[in-house]
Amino acid sequence: MKGKFSDLVALSWYQGALWLYLLFPLVLLYSMVILIRRLLYRLGVFQVYRSSLPVVIVGNITVGGTGKSPLVSHLVQSLSDMGFKPGIVSRGYGSSIPKGEVREVLTHSLTSDVGDEPLMLRHQVSCPIFVSPSRKLAVKSLEETDCNIAVTDDGLQHYALDRDVEICVVDGTRKWGNGWLLPMGPLRESLSRLKNVDFLVINGTDKLKQTHCGRSFEMALNGKQLHSLNGENVCPLTTFKGGQVHAIAAIGNPERFFNTLEMQGLDIIRHAFNDHHAYTKSDLDFGKVLPIIMTEKDAVKCRHLHLKNAWYLPVTAQLSGDIAAEIVSSLKLKGWLNG
- In angstroms, the CA 293 to CA 291 distance is 7
For residues 87 and 145, the answer to whether their CB atoms sit within 8 Å is yes
Alpha helices, DSSP H, located in the chain: 2-13, 24-42, 68-81, 111-114, 116-124, 135-143, 254-263, 296-302, 323-333
User: Containing domain of residue 304, as a range?
Assistant: 224-314
Domain count of the fold of the chain: 2
Distance, C-alpha 71 to centroid of its chain: 8
Q: Is the same domain home to 68 and 155? A: yes
Q: Is the same domain home to 229 and 214? A: no
Q: Is the same domain home to 131 and 268? A: no
Q: Is the same domain home to 185 and 263? A: no
- In angstroms, the CA 99 to CA 101 distance is 6
Tell me the residue ranges of DSSP E strands in the chain: 55-59, 86-90, 103-104, 129-131, 149-153, 165-171, 199-203, 215-222, 225-228, 234-236, 244-249, 267-272, 292-295, 310-313, 316-319
Q: How many angstroms separate the Cα of 31 from the Cα of each of 34, 170, 258, 296, 333?
A: 5, 21, 34, 35, 34
Q: Which amino acid type is present at position 133?
A: P
For residues 63 and 126, the answer to whether their CB atoms sit within 8 Å is no
For every one of its 339 residues, what pLDDT tens digit does the chain have, with 9 covering 90 and above? 345 677 788 889 999 899 999 999 999 999 999 999 999 999 999 999 999 999 999 999 999 889 999 999 999 999 999 999 999 999 999 888 998 999 999 999 999 999 999 999 999 999 999 999 999 999 999 999 999 999 999 999 999 999 999 999 999 999 999 999 999 999 999 999 999 999 999 998 766 766 666 799 999 999 999 999 999 999 999 999 999 999 999 998 999 999 999 999 999 999 999 999 999 999 999 998 999 999 999 999 999 999 999 999 999 999 999 999 999 999 999 999 875
The model's pTM is 0.95
Q: How many angstroms separate the Cα of 175 from the Cα of each of 21, 28, 179, 187, 251?
A: 20, 22, 9, 10, 17
**CATH code for the domain in which residue 208 is found:** 3.40.50.300
- In angstroms, the CA 79 to CA 67 distance is 19
Q: Is the same domain home to 178 and 264? A: no
For residues 221 and 67, the answer to whether their CB atoms sit within 8 Å is yes
Nearest in space to 84 (alpha carbons), one of 322, 320, 325: 325
